[in-house]
Amino acid sequence: MTDRSPAYGLQICVDCARPHDLADWWAEALRWEVEVPDEDFIRRMVAEGHATEDEITTHHGRLVWVAGAAIGPPPGMTVSQDRPRILFQPVPEAKTVKNRVHWDLREPGADDDRRAAEVERLVALGATRIGSGRQGPFGWIVLADPEGNEFCV
C-alpha cells in the first residue's frame, strides 16, 4: 500500500562563518531573495525575554537574528506550494574538506556559451573557478562560493 501523506518541503542548511553575507551572495547567484525578518517581532522577543541582545545584530541597516539568514525563490516564481529554502547558519569551525553534497545550478536548454556566460557572472560576484568536467554530451564547471563551498554550473 502506498502512503498518501503529503511530500515534505525542503530546507537545506549551510554551515558558514558569515551567514548574512553568504545568504546575500547566494540570493544574487540564484536570482532568489533573502527572507527579511520581522524587526518588530525580533524586538518583541527581546523585550519579553525570549531572546537576548546577543542573539540579534544589524545587517544592511536591518535588525536580524545572529543565528542565520534564509533565502528562497522570489514570489511569482513557479515552485511547489511549499517553497524550497536555504538557511545559512553560523558555525565556529571553517570548511576544511570537499563538500559531501553540492549544488548543480542548471538552466534548461543552456549551451556551452550560455554556461560560460553564467560562470563569468558568478565569478564577478565572487565565486572561484575550481575546474570542469564532461561526460559525453554533458559538461559542467566547478566553482566555489566566497566561503569555499563547491557547486557546479
Residue range 26-60, pLDDT digits in tens: 999 999 999 999 999 999 999 999 999 999 999 99
CB 153 within 8 A of CB 115: yes
* 99 has a pLDDT exceeding 90: no
The set of cell numbers assigned to 29 is: 547567484
Classify residue 94 by burial, with Cβ atoms within 10 Å: 0-12, 13-18, 19+.
exposed
The residue-averaged pLDDT of 84-110 equals: 88
Average predicted confidence (pLDDT) for the chain: 91
Delineate the domains of the chain, giving CATH numbers in brackets: 1-93 (no CATH), 95-153 (3.10.180.10)
- Answer left, alpha or beta for residue 60, where phi above 0 means left and psi between -120 and 50 means alpha: left
Q: Is the dihedral of CA 26, 33, 88, 47 positive or negative?
A: positive
- H-helix or E-strand containing 24? helix 19-30
pTM (global) more than 0.85: yes
pLDDT value at position 82? 64
pLDDT score for 124: 98
